[in-house]
Amino acid sequence: MNSLLSHTFGKSASYTVAIFCTCGLILLLLMLLPLFGLIIGFHPKLFLASLQKFVVWQAFLVSIKTTLISVLIILLFGFPLSYLLSFYNFLGKGTILTLLELPLVFPPIVGGLGLLIFFGRGSTFGIFFKNIGINVPFTPLALVFVQIFIAAPFFIFTVKSAMDQVDRECLLASASLKASLPATLLFVLIPMVFPAILSGLTASFAKALGELGASLIFAGNFPGVTQSMPLAIYIILQSNFDDAIALSMLLVVTAFLPLSLLKLTITRKK
Amino acid sequence: MHLRQEILKSVLLLAFMSLIFVYMGFKQAFAENSRLSIFAAASLIDLLPKALESYKKHQDNGVEVTFNFQGSQNLAFQIGQGASPDIFFSADERWMTYVSKKGWVFEPKAFLANSLVFVLSPNIAGHVKSLMDLQKNDLSFAIAHSSVPVGGYTKKVLDNLSGLYGKKFTKAVRDQVVTYEDSVRNVILKVTYGSVDAGIVYKTDYLSVKDKGVLAIEIPKQANIKAYYYVAILKRSDSLNEAKSFINFLSSKEANGIFKEFGFESI
Amino acid sequence: MFKCKLGFLRDNFKLDVKLSLPRQKTLAVIGENGSGKTTLVWLIMGLLKPNTGFIAIDNEFYVDLARGIYSPIKKRPFGLVFQHYSLFSHLSVRENLIFGLKRLRLSKKEIEHRSCIFTERFGLKDLLHRPSSTLSGGQKQRLAIARTLILKPKLMLLDEPFAAIDQQTKTELMSSLNYFRDDMSLMTIIITHNFLEALTLGDMIAVMDSGILLEVGTKEELLSRPKTEYVAHLIGLNLFKGSPAQNAPIFHTDLGSIVTAGIAKNKHYALINPREITIHLKRPDSSALNVLEGYITNISPLDHRGELVRISISSSPPVVSELTTISANALNITVGQKVFASFKAASVNLY
């Protein structure tokens, strides 16, 4: 094991490093257990058979459709929000930042309950939405709401953090070189925070895709409409174990794919 | 050399720590004997604790009881995955047969019956007054999905109703379903709080939320089903005596009185 | 002719400046950190909005708040080179260079044309396609100036352009700037905290402190007749404010008294050239009428060749002496040492 500090501290280091190695190994193993489990339960033949089942693809489509919409909304609305939070100071900014952390500390299932009550047919808002023709609970729209709630903070904080680190003088330089704000955003700011935008998007995508707790309560379970992949896994688990495993594999790969593609493009650029 | 020493040390530490964990695990397993773990169908969530209370008044043998209420399909699955309750209550024959065929339980016994009913959420009370009104097509329905006992019964009842009132009726109801829940309690919850307008649950579930303003529409006897609950003791239980004792109590007059109170029918 | 008058107030900082600068001339603005130099330049550029005032070149007013005129940066023919270059690190050298040209939507031909000229002039030819983050300090500064100059401004504002550059690069850059200055009738304002730099670069020098201009003048004016102690101190002269005694050849200052040559009337300043102050290790036995006792508080080289040193002494009043390094070494003096400073009464200039 090579480190800059390999020879710095001499013998006194070896015990400490040994303990660190043990702790690190244990944690690593614990974290890899689920993956090991999936690999053990994976049988190529059964996997392919499951993939041909309608219920599996149905869930996949529901997940993909809703997650892509959610991520798109997060991008289009989250970027401006990150910008405002990074470059402006205003009354209540601290409160807003704390509120945005809410989905990170709220158990998803509690979030789902809250949404259920808010949009419930008994509540004033619920009735309002029903009257203007927008039906939310038990529709794909409900899934989108839930996914945005869960995933948006990941995007916003990643991008805001990157924006915080942009040298303000660079933006002033852009202005001094006769660039308007839109031009500065397009040619200076966005290129500078682009890696953060991508990483925020991939994190949001994965989070949204895998959301179960809140969607269970708020979006309901209707195959083809609101039965997302995670929900399908939960429901199908009792009747068809192999289908559930296949769906799990599918889910993991789908969540992982954007991240790995991203890493590939970045390393290629370098 | 340095590297090897470090690896050796970490392996030793790892081994030592795993020994500690194993020891603690053993200790746990051999610890309490007077514990009863009961897996029961969700619709028994109000009944069983009450029955237990009464049982304890009769026989205070200091047994500690824990319940796990979920859809019977979930419970059967967990048992299959290695969960080891002492007693399993199933809301239908199907899942009891399943665990029985796998050889996990001793001879199951039927002990309770229930029937289904349509329920309406408080906020559409005035809107729906009879069975026929359910075809109105502007309601949202929640029912359990087919692998849940009550879901299977719901399917049967709806089929029966199409025989009685025509296919149009059943189709109208089915088209208004917006969600298939994995437990009957989730259905009654959603109806009670107005997230959906109507649902199909056990009569006993309706009775448990009657005071919250939920209304019921009876299903004609010809179309309704009788849901039989089964109970069995798990073979791998190590509290066989305590389990037997509790189950015997369930056949007593006292217990039957409690069943009636909640709206169940005894066998 | 560039003219401006600016009043600006933000938080507790107040700025009040009036400037004029003829074509093809360079103004060097010196001041300490926090004196408002950068604020001044940002106000002229348009990055900040003044509360009152105007900015104009000849008869063209870019800002005239009294008449409600306030041109955006795009319309002002000014260029600003930032203190820390602020290059666009994600862009190549060439992209940085033509950034402003693209924003002004000039034709491809024009962009190409100017790009050629400035690449050549600023020695960026071999660096064109490199990412700008990989350049050395000097190269970065060249690029920063080039990308601003390429927009052909009438007035160039440079914020501490030579803070971290070696002498040779500095000379090259100045000659490039001067080339364009003549070619484009450029006016330049350079901000610096180094007085020597200001002296060498500026046709005119302005001294700024706490948001106001203490003095503006040519270097000759400043060197011979500094109007404030602050400036004199900056220059390294011994200037004292005070009043002459009524009946004796003595000049009283807050920090001590000096013997002068002759009785002075109505003179408020006493100026002594540091070179006329001699340092002794023991109380001297000379004819000089002024002998001050004190401790050495600072010894610093005066020029970049290290041939002269400036020595500050905490006497009453405190004085600054200038010696050749050789002499200083011969004396073998250190900071904290007790010394005697002497100078003739005749060396005291009163005005």
At B171 the pLDDT is 93
* Cβ contact A25–B10 (<8 Å): yes
**Distance (Å, rounded) from C-alpha A50 to C-alpha A56?**
7
Q: Which of residues 82-121 of B touch A (CB under 8 A)?
A: 121
Residue C219 pLDDT exceeds 80: no
pTM of the full structure:
0.76
Neighbours of C255 (CB within 10 A): 14
The total of other beta-carbon atoms located within 10 Å of residue C168's CB is 9
Q: How many residues does chain A have?
A: 270
Distance, in Å, from the CA atom of B8 to the CA atom of B3, rounded to the nearest integer, reads 9
C7 and chain A in contact, CB less than 8 A: no
Is residue C140 pLDDT above 80, yes or no? yes
Q: How far apart are CA B77 and CA B72, in angstroms?
A: 8
pLDDT of B13 over the 90 cut: no
d(CA B89, CA B85): 11
3-state secondary structure of A130: helix
The CA distance from C213 to B132, in Å, is 92
d(CA C244, CA C241): 10
The pLDDT > 90 percentage for chain A reads 47
pLDDT at C267: 78
* C-alpha span between A46 and A25 (Å, rounded): 33
Q: Are B181 and A221 in contact (CB under 8 A)?
A: yes
pLDDT value of position A264: 82
| Closest Cβ–Cβ partner in A26, A116, A221 for B182 | A221
Q: For A166, list phi and psi in degrees, rounded to 5.
A: -75, 130
Average pLDDT of C134-161?
A: 90
Name the residue in chain B with its Cα closest to that of A241: B77
Answer with the residue of higher pLDDT: A1 or A182. Answer: A182
% pLDDT > 70, chain A: 96
- Of the candidates A21, A120, A237, the beta carbon closest to that of B77 is on A237
Helix H or strand E encompassing C15: strand C13-21
Q: Does C73 touch chain A (CB under 8 A)?
A: yes
Residue C315 has pLDDT above 90, yes or no: no
% chain C with pLDDT above 70: 99
Q: What is the pLDDT of residues B26-37, one digit of tens each?
A: 666 555 557 889
Mean pLDDT of the C83-110 span: 92
Q: What is the pLDDT of residue A56?
A: 87
Nearest to B147 among A123, A126, A239 (CB): A239
- CB-nearest partner of A172 from C47, C79, C151: C47
| Interface touch B9/A25, C-beta < 8 Å | no
Q: What is the four-CA torsion angle of A117, A119, A124, A130, rounded to 10 degrees?
A: -150
Distance from CA of A15 to the nearest CA of B (A): 8
Token match 């009524």: residue? C246
Instruction: Using pLDDT thresholds of 50, 70 and 90, give the confidence band for residue A64.
Output: very high
Task: Give the gyration radius of chain B's Cα atoms.
Answer: 23
State whether residue A181 sits within 8 Å of chain C by CB. Answer: no
Q: Which 3 state secondary structure label does DSSP give C253?
A: strand
Chain A CA closest to residue B76: A238
Distances (CA, A) of B209 to A81, A98, A143, A220, B262: 44, 38, 28, 21, 11
As a 3-state breakdown, chain A gives helix, strand, coil percent values, each rounded to 5, of 80, 0, 20
Tell me what pLDDT residue B143 has: 95
Q: Which residues contact B105 (CB under 8 A, 6 or more apart)?
A: B88, B96, B99, B232, B233, B234, B235
Q: How many contacts, defined by CB atoms under 8 Å, are there between A and B?
A: 85
CATH, range A45-269: 1.10.3720.10
C228-276: pLDDT as tens digits: 777 777 677 787 878 888 888 888 888 888 888 887 777 777 888 888 8
Per the CB < 8 Å rule, is C90 touching A176? no
Q: Prior bond to B149 cis, omega within 30? A: no
Q: Does the B40-112+236-266 domain belong in CATH 3.40.640.10?
A: no
Q: Which pair of tokens denotes residue C108? A: 């491809």
How high is the pLDDT of residue C289? 85
Chains B and C touch (3+ CB pairs under 8 A): no
Is the pLDDT reported for residue B135 higher than 60? yes
**Is residue C55 scored above 90 in pLDDT?**
yes
Calculate the average pLDDT of chain B.
Answer: 88
A184 contacts chain C (CB < 8 A) = no
Sign of CA dihedral C103, C109, C114, C116: positive
Closest chain C residue to A172, measured at CA: C47
Q: Pull the structure tokens for residue B98.
A: 């399943």
Reported as a single tens digit per residue, the pLDDT across A5-22 is 767 777 777 788 888 989
Which residue in B158, C140, C215, B126 sits closest to A170, CA to CA?
Answer: C140
Is residue C84 a contact partner of residue C133, using CB atoms and an 8 Å limit? no
Determine the pLDDT at residue C240: 81
Instruction: Please name the fold of domain C236-350.
Output: OB fold (Dihydrolipoamide Acetyltransferase, E2P) (2.40.50)
Q: Does A22 touch chain C (CB under 8 A)?
A: no
pLDDT tens digits, one per residue of A33-43: 988 888 888 88
Q: Which residues of chain A lie closer than 8 angstroms to C99, CB-CB? A: 174, 177, 179, 187
Q: What confidence score (pLDDT) does residue A114 get?
A: 86
Give pLDDT, residue C260: 86
Q: Which residues of C touch A186 (CB under 8 A)?
A: none
Confidence grade of residue B99 (pLDDT, cut at 50, 70, 90): very high
Q: C141: Cβ–Cβ under 8 A, 6 or more apart, which residues?
A: C81, C85, C161, C162, C165, C169, C173
Interchain CB contact of A223 with B (< 8 Å): yes
- CB of A218 closer than 8 Å to CB of A115: yes
Mutation pick from A7, A17, A30, A121 vs chain B, by most beta carbons of B within 10 Å, is A121
Contacts of B17 in chain A (CB under 8 A): 22, 26
Which own/partner pairs from B101-107 qualify as long-range (CB within 8 Å, at least 24 positions apart)? Answer: B103/B235, B104/B79, B104/B80, B104/B234, B104/B235, B104/B236, B105/B232, B105/B233, B105/B234, B105/B235, B106/B232, B106/B233, B106/B234, B106/B235, B107/B232
Cα-to-chain-centroid distance, residue C315: 28
Residue A2: pLDDT above 90? no
- Provide the CATH number for the domain formed by C2-224 in this structure: 3.40.50.300
Supply the mean pLDDT for chain A. 87
Distance CA C188, CA B89 (A): 91
For range A105-125, the mean pLDDT = 80
Say yes or no for a CB contact (<8 Å) between C82 and A169. yes
C88 and A170 in contact by Cβ < 8 A?
yes
* Across C303-313, average pLDDT: 77
Closest C-alpha to B84, from B191, B240, B265: B240
Residue A240 confidence (pLDDT):
80
Smallest CA–CA separation between B196 and chain A, in Å? 7
Between A25 and A8, residue with greater pLDDT = A25
> Do C86 and A169 count as a contact with CB atoms less than 8 A apart?
yes
Number of A–C residue contacts, CB under 8 Å? 53
Among C86, C104, C111, pick the best mutation site for testing chain A contact (most A Cβ within 10 A): C86
CB of A25 within 8 Å of a chain B CB? The answer is: yes
Q: Is the pLDDT of residue A269 over 80?
A: no
- Of residues A46 and A178, more confidently modeled: A178
**A170 or A53: which leads in pLDDT:** A170
- Please tell me if residue A75 touches chain C, with a CB cutoff of 8 Å: no
Which chain A residues contact residue C89 at CB under 8 A? Answer: 170, 192
Tokens 């309560």 — which residue?
A217
Q: What is the mean pLDDT of chain C?
A: 86
Q: Which residue of C lies nearest to A186 if distances are taken between CA atoms?
A: C103
pLDDT tens-digit map of A199-245: 999 999 999 999 998 888 888 888 888 899 999 998 888 778 888 88
Q: Name chain A contacts of C82, Cβ cutoff 8 Å.
A: 169, 172-173, 176
Q: What is the pLDDT of residue C147?
A: 94
**CA distances, A225 to each of A228, A238, B181, B230, C251 (Å):** 8, 21, 14, 35, 97
3-state secondary structure of B190: helix
The span from the CA of C41 to the CA of C190, in Å, is: 9
Calculate mean pLDDT across residues B239-260: 90
β-bridge mates for residue C9, sequence order: C14
- Look up residue B57 and give its two tokens: 């008044």
Q: C136-141 long-range contacts, Cβ below 8 Å, gap at least 24?
A: C137/C164, C137/C165, C138/C165, C138/C166, C138/C169, C140/C85, C140/C87, C141/C81, C141/C85, C141/C165, C141/C169, C141/C173
Q: Which CATH number fits the domain B116-217, given the four candidates 3.40.640.10, 3.30.1330.10, 3.40.50.300, 3.40.190.10?
A: 3.40.190.10
Q: Where in chain B is the domain with CATH 3.40.190.10?
A: 40-112+236-266, 116-217
Greatest mean pLDDT range, A123-132, C24-33, C107-116, C331-340: C107-116
Least confident of B29-33, B130-134, C123-127, C160-164: B29-33
Structural domain spans, chain A: 1-40, 45-269
Q: Is A191 touching C (CB cutoff 8 A)?
A: yes
Tokens 């070896």, located at residue:
A14
- Residue C165, token pair as written in the block: 């550059």
Task: For chain C, say whether A185 makes contact (Cβ under 8 Å).
Answer: no
**pLDDT number for residue A241:** 81
Q: Matching CATH topology for C2-224 and C236-350?
A: no
CB contact under 8 A, B9 and A138: no
Look at residue A153 and tell me whether its pLDDT is greater than 80: yes
Least Cα separation, residue B73 to chain A (angstroms): 6
**pLDDT tens column, A244-265:** 888 998 999 999 888 788 778 7
Q: Is the pLDDT of residue C32 over 60?
A: yes
